[in-house]
Chain A
Amino acid sequence: MVTVLAVTMIAPFLYMVSTSFMDEFEVLRYPPALLPGRPLPGNYGAALTALPFGRFFLNSAIFAGFVVAGQVLTSAMAAYAFARLRFPGRDRVFLAVLSVLMVPVIVLLIPRFLIINALGWVDSYAGLISTEVVSVWGIFLLRQFFLTLPRDLEDAARLDGAGEWTIFRRVVLPLSKPALATLAVFAFVDQWKSFLWPLIATRSVEMQVVEVGIASFHGIYYTNWPYQMAAAVTAMVPLVVVFFVAQRYFIQGIQLTGLK
């Protein structure tokens, strides 16, 4: 049964890869061919030069990279304040922050677009990145994790006269590497997959990210299935690589929080 399910999950991907090597007219026949008669690796070169895919990948990398760095940093700082420091109204502020999770993203998207439009940031990295660099889910995840850390080390550092910032940087962050990695991996995948915001926040071809790029490629080459499959396979490579390298963090993310 596991095998049947696994095959159901994997087979479409294999078929996609197989189709990407076929001839444009070889696929248009019935019954459909499962393997290319003669593999055509040239499909990849042809598909990827039809639109500036190099630029798309660069854009996606810049977008996801900055957002991941921003989310990890701001979430860790905020989570530390919520988990470890005492100040009036802490729990109320935390609840208010969490309440953002209830609001559907589309409600925020229209005003956010109008804001970056007013700032003149549409079609720029600033506009693309600025709205995404704080993640409420990340704050929540790291706060839960920080609460599980023992306080002894921090208290020892405090007795030695360390300030909160030093404790945060020297004690808490090194202890939280697995949680930070989990957040980073999820944030990276989320941003790489995100479609609607990059679609509306960019206009020119040079600023499109990979997801938007292959969608517009689909619009241009909608009859050439091997080319489309080649573009789709390429778009998935970074995600699959990240997934295989960081697989345990995904599982950890689910098992730690039961979330996401």
Chain B
Amino acid sequence: MTTTSWRMLAVTGAVTAGVLTLAAARWAVGREQRVFALRTAATTAAYLSIVTPPARGGGTPGEYDLPRLLVAVRALEALSGWTPEVEVYRGTAPLVHATAPPLAPEEFERLRRLETVRWQRGAALAPLKDRDDWDVVGAVKVRVPARAGAPGWLTVVVLLVTLGAGFATVRAIRRTTYDVRRSLLAYTIAALALGCSAYWDIRSAAKAGTDRWLSDTRLLLQEAAARLPGAASRVRLAELARLARGAELVEADSAGVAPVRRTDGGQPRAAVAARLGPGRWVELRTLPAEALAGRWLALLVGVALLGPAATWLAVWGVRAAARPQRLRETVTAWGFLAPAVLHLAVFSFGPICFALYLSVHRWGLIEPGRPFVGLANFTAVARDPLVWTSVRNTLVYALYVPVTMAIALGVAVVLNRHSGVVRLARTAFFLPYVSSVVAIALMWQWMFHADFGVLNYLLSFVGLGPVDWLGSPKTALLAVMLMSVWVQVGYQMVVFLAGLQGIPQAYLDAARVDGANAWQRFWRVTFPLLKPVTLFVLVTGVIGSFQVFTYIYVLTDGGPLHATDVIVYRIYQTAWEFLQFGTASALSLVLFLILFGVTWVQFRLLGKRVEYV
């Protein structure tokens, strides 16, 4: 393709992305308004069927008293603060505006058949049931203003800026100069802003919809309480609850009449207070629509970024056209990478993002509701005393790593001279490291046995009493650490030996000539030169020790009395025994942070580069 056609592609991409973003936002805003209208239509129909008394003097059972229905409908318009554009039909005849066109007979038939709220020709239509809740005798229609769904002025401005940035970038694409990076970056940022701004429009529409429904329903509740026969203080909530389908209605104290947002037990809630009578208040609570608007953000940002993506493709295409060899190599390379990279995207990078998402949601395996809970999972983790116990135990357990390293390094230094012997015995040192973890745990459990264990038998020779290794909270963690030292020491020794072989003998000889004794030679020459290996063993060892699980699961189940409860065991229980995946994910991220900090400290303390002078 020529440069011009690449540019055409970029321009088309930029314009399409802008138009699509706006269209998607408009559709979503319209959807939020439709949701509001449908809800209001259903609520109004329920209100009318509550407040209208039955027809006097027989007639069809369940028939409304028509004049009273007319009064109730007209009174809606007189309510101060009532916003929706409502039309009520008795049969197909309009009641509010007598001159309005009647409801089409086939629409009415459809309502009778389906008995559910539906969207028809730009208006929400709810069936009006008779008093017995048996037959559909009319309809309530709520219209959405025609201008609905227009983008906010900010979005329009951002759209213009984005298109400008896009065109500027396209102009900068040339065959010879490739420095479009900066304008491409500006364009990407503008596109991001466009996505966010369009999302904000949707969110505001959702919020406004919830607010309007709450305040309109509040008016209807108060009106219904006033119209129902009997004193307002005795109206039963169950009767009013039909108005508030899909929401909760509870007795409450007096409160402000404007809708408020809050979190109830981890669930976001929008609420408004309504006064039913003297001293009697109820609260109407519902899930705010904007809490569900989050899913639009990813979509809108994705669509908005199509423009920069097309431009990026064009930049790359123009470059590649100049060097076909390079293009072929790039395609080949990605072919080689594809299996690994796709897998990592699905099973590593995806899960990392998913873990972040989980940690701010309540997530069970069975319950369908998985609401956003903010930092509640993290505060739950921080307030759980068992978590603190497990963190302490993990930190104590990790101390086995430096202890093992001291032993392994000491032995390695002594053995360095006799490498022939070591090669023979290396198999023995390595065996624990390559053995089945559970088998080793079982083996040690048998040796730790309080009554018949061989360890207590050996201790008795030096006059120490029997120790209940795994049964006592005082020694259980120590026992697990002891076993871990045994498992790791041989492997670490082999690593240290490999490092020691890399130290030139000449340095040690020079030190000896200068009169340094063995102790000084070790601390002044060997140890500094071995630092990279030491750091490696320490960092990987500590990382491993923070994730210990199998030994604990097999040996102690975290007990006795949580004496060996470690972080990963806590995560395992939280997730797969208590099925609180959100909290478990939060705890795992805390572990990540702790580990990150600990590793960073180790690099700071030991990580200074050592040069062979």
Contact surface of A with B, Cβ cutoff 8 Å: 1-3, 5-6, 8-10, 12-13, 15-16, 19, 27-32, 34, 73-75, 77-78, 80-82, 85-88, 90, 93, 97, 100, 102-115, 117, 130-131, 133-134, 136, 139, 164-165, 168, 189, 192-193, 195-196, 199-200, 210-212, 214-215, 218, 225, 228-229, 231-233, 235-236, 239-240, 242-244, 247, 250-251, 254-255, 258-259
Contacts A115-B347, A239-B435, A258-B495 hold; do A104 and B429 have CB atoms under 8 A apart? no
- B442→A229 contact, CB < 8 A: yes
Any A CB within 8 A of the CB of B494: yes
Contacts A210-B436, A218-B554, A258-B498 hold; do A133 and B354 have CB atoms under 8 A apart? no
Contacts A15-B447, A195-B549, A228-B442 hold; do A107 and B454 have CB atoms under 8 A apart? no
- Taking A19-B446, A214-B436 as known contacts, 10 extra A-B pairs with beta carbons closer than 8 A to each other, sorted by chain A number, are A12-B443, A93-B337, A110-B571, A111-B351, A111-B355, A115-B347, A136-B344, A214-B442, A239-B434, A240-B431
- A193→B437 contact, CB < 8 A: yes
Name the segment of B58-66, B238-246, B325-333, B604-612 touching the other chain: B325-333
- A32→B452 contact, CB < 8 A: yes
Say how far A206's CB is from chain B's closest CB, in angstroms.
19
- A254→B498 contact, CB < 8 A: yes
- B336→A80 contact, CB < 8 A: yes
**Bound complex: CA A165 to CA B335 (Å):** 10
Report B-chain residues with C-beta under 8 Å of the C-beta of A97: 340-341, 344
Between A and B, 19 residue pairs with Cβ closer than 8 Å are A6-B428, A77-B340, A78-B339, A93-B337, A104-B546, A104-B547, A104-B595, A106-B571, A113-B576, A114-B358, A114-B581, A117-B365, A134-B339, A192-B436, A200-B572, A232-B436, A244-B427, A258-B536, A259-B536
Contact surface of B with A, Cβ cutoff 8 Å: 316, 326, 329-330, 332-334, 336-337, 339-341, 343-344, 346-352, 354-355, 358, 363, 365, 411, 414-415, 418, 421-422, 425-432, 434-439, 442-444, 446-447, 449, 451-454, 457, 486, 490, 494-495, 498-499, 532-533, 536, 540, 543, 546-547, 549-550, 553-554, 568, 571-572, 575-576, 581, 584-585, 588-589, 591-592, 595-596
Contacts A106-B588, A195-B550 hold; do A250 and B434 have CB atoms under 8 A apart? yes
Report A-chain residues with C-beta under 8 Å of the C-beta of B452: 27-30, 32
Say how far B559's CB is from chain A's closest CB, in angstroms.
14
Interface of A is mostly: helix
**Bound complex: CA A238 to CA B141 (Å):** 75
Report A-chain residues with C-beta under 8 Å of the C-beta of B550: 195-196, 211
Say how far A35's CB is from chain B's closest CB, in angstroms.
12
- A15→B454 contact, CB < 8 A: yes
Say how far A73's CB is from chain B's closest CB, in angstroms.
8
Report A-chain residues with C-beta under 8 Å of the C-beta of B581: 110, 114
**Bound complex: CA A33 to CA B332 (Å):** 65
Report A-chain residues with C-beta under 8 Å of the C-beta of B442: 214, 218, 228-229, 231-232
Contacts A12-B447, A28-B452, A93-B337 hold; do A5 and B425 have CB atoms under 8 A apart? yes
**Bound complex: CA A6 to CA B490 (Å):** 9
- B333→A85 contact, CB < 8 A: yes
- A9→B547 contact, CB < 8 A: no
- A78→B443 contact, CB < 8 A: no
* Pick from B333, B349, B437, B446: contact of A16, CB under 8 Å: B446
Say how far B294's CB is from chain A's closest CB, in angstroms.
18
Total contacts A to B, CB within 8 angstroms? Answer: 257
- A104→B444 contact, CB < 8 A: no
* Pick from A30, A73, A104, A239: contact of B592, CB under 8 Å: A104
Report A-chain residues with C-beta under 8 Å of the C-beta of B553: 195, 199, 215
**Bound complex: CA A105 to CA B339 (Å):** 21
Most buried by A among B316, B431, B499: B431
**Bound complex: CA A255 to CA B336 (Å):** 28
- A108→B348 contact, CB < 8 A: yes
**Bound complex: CA A125 to CA B355 (Å):** 24
Most buried by B among A34, A85, A240: A85
Report B-chain residues with C-beta under 8 Å of the C-beta of A251: 426, 494
Report B-chain residues with C-beta under 8 Å of the C-beta of A165: 332
- B431→A134 contact, CB < 8 A: no
Say how far B582's CB is from chain A's closest CB, in angstroms.
9
Say how far B421's CB is from chain A's closest CB, in angstroms.
5
**Bound complex: CA A146 to CA B60 (Å):** 90
Report B-chain residues with C-beta under 8 Å of the C-beta of A87: 326, 329-330, 333-334
Which residue of B has the minimal Cβ distance to A11? B454
* Pick from B429, B446, B568: contact of A5, CB under 8 Å: B429
Report B-chain residues with C-beta under 8 Å of the C-beta of A168: 336
Which residue of A has the minimal Cβ distance to B483? A12
Say how far A43's CB is from chain B's closest CB, in angstroms.
14
**Bound complex: CA A193 to CA B554 (Å):** 14
Report A-chain residues with C-beta under 8 Å of the C-beta of B494: 251, 254
- A108→B453 contact, CB < 8 A: no
- A85→B332 contact, CB < 8 A: yes
Which residue of B has the minimal Cβ distance to A232? B439
Say how far A33's CB is from chain B's closest CB, in angstroms.
9
Which residue of B has the minimal Cβ distance to A246? B434
Report B-chain residues with C-beta under 8 Å of the C-beta of A117: 365
**Bound complex: CA A117 to CA B437 (Å):** 27
Report A-chain residues with C-beta under 8 Å of the C-beta of B547: 104-106
* Pick from A102, A215, A254: contact of B438, CB under 8 Å: A215
Which residue of B has the minimal Cβ distance to A242? B434
* Pick from B346, B431, B451: contact of A243, CB under 8 Å: B431
**Bound complex: CA A102 to CA B337 (Å):** 21
- A110→B588 contact, CB < 8 A: yes
Contacts A236-B435, A240-B435 hold; do A258 and B533 have CB atoms under 8 A apart? yes
* Pick from A8, A12, A29, A134: contact of B344, CB under 8 Å: A134
**Bound complex: CA A29 to CA B449 (Å):** 11
**Bound complex: CA A78 to CA B341 (Å):** 8
- A258→B451 contact, CB < 8 A: no
Report B-chain residues with C-beta under 8 Å of the C-beta of A85: 329, 332-333, 336
**Bound complex: CA A12 to CA B595 (Å):** 33
* Pick from B343, B435, B446: contact of A134, CB under 8 Å: B343
- B350→A111 contact, CB < 8 A: yes
- A189→B434 contact, CB < 8 A: yes
- B430→A110 contact, CB < 8 A: no
**Bound complex: CA A86 to CA B438 (Å):** 45
**Bound complex: CA A143 to CA B589 (Å):** 30
